[in-house]
Amino acid sequence: MKQMRRVQRLARRFGPARAFCAALLLVLALLRIADLPALEELRVRTFDTYQVIEPRAKTARPVVIVDIDEASLKKYGQFPWPRSRIAELVTHLTQLKAVVIAFDITFPEPDRTNPAIAADTMVGLDDATRDKLRALPSNDQLFADAIRRSRVVLGESGLSAVSADLDTSLPVTGLAMLGGDPQPFLVRFPGLLRNIPELEGAAAGRGLFSIRNERDGIVRRVPMLMQAQGITMPALSFEMLRVATGTDTILVKSDRAGIKSIAGRGFDIPTDRNGQLWVHFAKHDPSIYVSAADVLDGTAPAARIAGRLVLIGTSAVGLLDTKTTPLDSVLPGVEVHAQVLESVLTKTVLSQPNYAIGAELCIALLLGIIVIWLAPMFGPVTLLAMGAVFAALLVGTSWYFYTQNRLLIDFTYPLLSTTLIYLSLIFSNFVREQRQRQRIRSAFSQYLSPALVAQLAQSPEKLVLGGEEREMTIMFSDVRGFTTISESYKHDPHGLTTLMNRFLTPLTNAILDRKGTIDKYMGDAIMAFWNAPLDDADHQVNACEAALDMLERIDALNAIREDEAAQGGHVYIPIKVGIGLNTGTCVVGNMGSDLRFDYSVLGDSVNLASRLEGQSKEYGFPIIVGSKTALAAKDSFAILELDFIMVKGKREPEVIYAIAGRDDMAQSERFQRLRNLTIEMLACYRSRDWEGALFAIERGRKSDVGQLLELLYDLYEKRILAYRQNPPPDDWNGAFALLTK
């Protein structure tokens, strides 16, 4: 039972996301073992990129191509040429001390220009002439004699269909095996195209020049050993090396994974499991080409031929022997064989060892396990950094092996596998966070503003103690005379609760509609703020708009309540609201204890906003704002300067203002006249010109038809009369000290 519980605890700790990713990792390993075409395509494209970035640098040119080019065809006629001319070409190359001569061409039929054939087919010849022609040696015989006097490797071709007249008695190169049987791994061709027996018997070697393109038509690998119509044969390039070194038997080294290398005397060529050499390509090199016409007419420099391996092929457009490589879109096929020989002879061959797949699997499994274990423990930035490090290590290691050891180690599979695991974990985290956000929305939507709920849903980690400094606009609102209203409901507490909900709801909506956040309700009072948790560039203006909206909604509610009171025959007491706004730097965040905390705001600016709300009844304006709020909102509202006050507990005085209405009121002639008179009154008052201040008040009363400034004028008249009796000190700056909070 204890063991079962232990397993259950381990399973919960491991989690379904990790379990899924572990299963995915296993599936990806099986797909790599199966080596799907898509994975192989990605791998070879990566190796192509390596060669494009850093192709093989030529340090020597041990191979020359005798090219049956356009100039040769123009001089000696269309191809195929008579074998006697080919024999002449071989003889010239032999005299120029070519090491081995190989043909990237087949001669599967007798020469149609043989003298005997001419004797039988030409019209108008007499019998004596025909007999003389038949007595002449054939062109094929001349070619065979030239081959016999040199070291020549004849090219053969694999066919896609079985050749019915294949001569199996012709000589083949001997084969020795070290390790397992290589036959199951060899590239196979159903048929084989050989040369005529007369030529085959005279040659020093025979090799297949067939090159099988990859799926995308690009040549990347050339088989060094192939099987064609049941006969195991070396590649043309390998056979040239065998003949050049005097090797009698080809040694094939294999293991359970496939072929490892193919060797001869003095050289050992690493291959893939199918006996194919990854060609280390250099850029197309015209300097290794010599025109066949130059060799035939004796103008080819001897130094270009002597001591070199010679490939005879064609670059003529009409003969269509072109290939696509990672470096060149069009490359004569004969140059592919030349590049193979150069790579081997300069010891710059590429190889993808049989253990590579095991190494790639181990790396992928190790990285996958690390990601599965560690990813849920870290944040997205850390995970991204880890991913970048892993990717850099994989790419860097693969590039190092390519440049320093000429080994092709694939990083794409481990990187792809690790990325899929990572994305799966990210998706599972996304699903989990979505569920968490939904729970947060359900838990807090009844208590916080929609903006705050959305913020917490996006960032649940913010549900911890702590805060941040930012500039904010704070609001305090309170119902004037609420005690009197409450007394009228002393026998109906349920009715009082209903009334509070009726006026708190529109006030709350006015705040939320203007991007505000409700901090708390304190009986009939509301505390709110702007520019947190979401940024609000216009928080001062939005707060002022919300304050005016609150007054308008209370007026609408009062009209409804007045009608209800008239119809119900009970006393109607209007609801009046006072509002204080102030802008300043505050600390906002989750405040409280580890067990219970609220998203709230602290700071001196908060205290001042509360004091301003308390002064709204003294100045006769329902909305009083601090100087920073007024400065930011001055172009959008009818703002009137009220006083220069010293709040109890503060050292610095503050200019306070009233929000009298929106921009339409600010533009009215009546308000502008009252504002100018108020500015004049305040200027006289602060300069101790009591008579001038009283005169401005008198003119203001005459202009204030709606008695908007009645309480303000009464307040200043009372102060001026007091200062007449007891003048302020000499250092008085016009500030009035508030005696109450």
Rounded to an integer, what distance in angstroms lies between the CA atom of residue 131 and that of residue 619? Answer: 140
pLDDT at 446: 46
Q: Is residue 132 part of a domain?
A: yes
Contacts of 350 (CB under 8 A, 6+ apart): 277, 278, 279, 280, 343, 402, 406, 407, 408
Within a domain: residue 457? no
Distance in angstroms (rounded) separating the CA atoms of residues 511 and 69? 87
Residue closest to 557 by CA, chosen among 539, 568, 545, 572: 572
Q: Amino acid identity, residue 421?
A: I
pLDDT category at 7 given cuts 50, 70, 90 is very low
Q: CATH number for the domain including 589?
A: 3.30.70.1230
pLDDT at 495: 84
**In a shared domain, residues 713 and 585:** no
According to DSSP, the residues that pair with 234 across neighbouring strands are: 225
| In a domain? residue 553 | yes
Helix 2-34 vs helix 356-374: crossing angle, to nearest 10? 140
pLDDT digits (tens, 9 = 90+) for 616-671: 989 999 999 999 999 999 999 999 999 999 887 677 889 999 999 999 999 999 99
CA–CA distance, 499 with 565 (Å, rounded to integer): 13
Phi-psi region of 266 (alpha: psi -120 to 50; beta: other; left: phi over 0): left
CB-based contact 617:578 (threshold 8 Å): yes
The answer to whether position 117 is within a domain reads: yes
452 is a domain residue: no
Element (H, E) at 644: strand 637-646
Q: How far apart are CA 617 and CA 610, in angstroms?
A: 13
Residues in a beta bridge with 228:
189, 231
Q: By C-alpha distance, which of 478, 467, 469, 475 is closest to 600?
A: 467
Of 28-42, 327-341, 469-483, 551-565, where does mean pLDDT reach its minimum? 28-42
- Cβ-in-10-Å burial (0-12, 13-18, 19+) of 601 comes to buried
State pLDDT tens for residues 522-547: 989 999 999 988 789 999 999 999 99
Distance of CA 602 to the CA centre of its chain: 42
Assess whether 610 and 675 both reside in one domain.
no
Tokens of 412: 């794409």
Residues 262 and 309 in one domain: yes
CA 343 to chain centre: 37
Of 615, 643, 660, at which residue does a domain stop?
A: 660
CB 580 within 8 A of CB 615: yes
Query: Confidence class of residue 314 from pLDDT cuts 50, 70 and 90?
Result: confident
- Per-residue 3-state assignment (H helix, E strand, C coil) for 116-183: HHHHHHCCCCCHHHHHHHHHCCCHHHHHHHHHHCCCEEEEEEEECCCCCCCCCCCCCCEEEEECCCCH
The CA distances from residue 123 to 112, 131, 133, 151, 175, in Å, are: 16, 14, 13, 39, 51
Residue 449 has pLDDT above 60, yes or no: no
pLDDT at 172 over 80: no
Provide the pairing of β-strand 63-67 with 289-291.
Answer: parallel
Domain end (from 299, 328, 345): 345
Q: Is residue 103 part of a domain?
A: yes
Residue whose structure tokens are 């966070």: 433
Residues 347, 404, 62, CA angle at the centre, nearest 5°?
20
pLDDT tens-digit map of 34-75: 777 777 788 888 888 898 999 999 888 999 999 998 899 999
Question: Is 647 found in the same domain as 591?
Answer: yes
Q: Are residues 267 and 322 in the same domain?
A: yes
CB 31 within 8 A of CB 413: no
Q: What's the domain count of the chain?
A: 4
Name the nearest CA neighbour of 226 among 199, 190, 270. Answer: 190
Distance from C-alpha of 340 to C-alpha of 277, rounded to nearest angstrom:
8
Cα 149 to Cα 64, 316, 470, distances in angstroms: 20, 29, 96
Contact assessment for residue 475 and residue 528, using Cβ atoms and an 8 Å cutoff:
yes
φ, ψ at 305 (rounded to 5°): -110, -40
Largest interatomic CA distance in the chain: 160
Best mean pLDDT range from 134-143, 267-276, 376-385: 267-276
Which residues of 446-516 form beta strands (DSSP E)?
466-480
In one-letter notation, the amino acid at residue 9 is R
User: Which residue from 654, 644, 722 is spatially nearest to 681, judged by alpha carbons?
Assistant: 644
Does residue 68 sit in the same domain as residue 42?
no
| Arithmetic mean of pLDDT, 220-231 | 92
The domain boundary, picked from 612, 631, 660, lies at: 660
Percentage of the chain lying above the pLDDT 70 cut: 89
Residue 597: CB partners within 8 Å, gap ≥ 6?
A: 465, 590, 591
Same domain, 23 and 167: no
pLDDT band at 179 (very low <50, low <70, confident <90, very high): confident
Based on the fold, state whether residues 424 and 529 are members of the same structural domain.
no
Cβ-proximal residues to 162 (8 Å cutoff; 6+ apart), any chain: 190, 191, 229
Rounded Cα–Cα distance for residues 350 and 282 (Å): 12
Alpha-carbon separation of residue 278 from 135, 223, 268, 359, 580 (angstroms)? 50, 9, 14, 19, 81
Q: Do 22 and 83 belong to one domain? A: no
What's the pLDDT score for residue 10?
46
Q: Which residue has the higher pLDDT, 121 or 224?
A: 224
264-281 average pLDDT score: 91
Integer Rg of the chain from CA: 49
Whether 248 is covered by a domain: the verdict is: yes
Higher pLDDT among residues 462 and 166, named by residue = 166
Same domain, 119 and 79: yes
Q: In 3D, which of 367, 351, 392 has the Cα closest to residue 28?
A: 367
The verdict on 414 and 560 lying in the same domain is no
- Enclosing domain of residue 20: 2-53+354-435
Per-residue confidence band for 142, with pLDDT thresholds at 50, 70 and 90: very high
Whether 673 and 533 share a structural domain: no
- Per-residue confidence (pLDDT) for residue 164, from 0 to 100: 80
In a domain, 442, yes or no: no
Q: Under DSSP, is residue 300 helix (H, G, I), strand (E, B) or coil?
A: coil
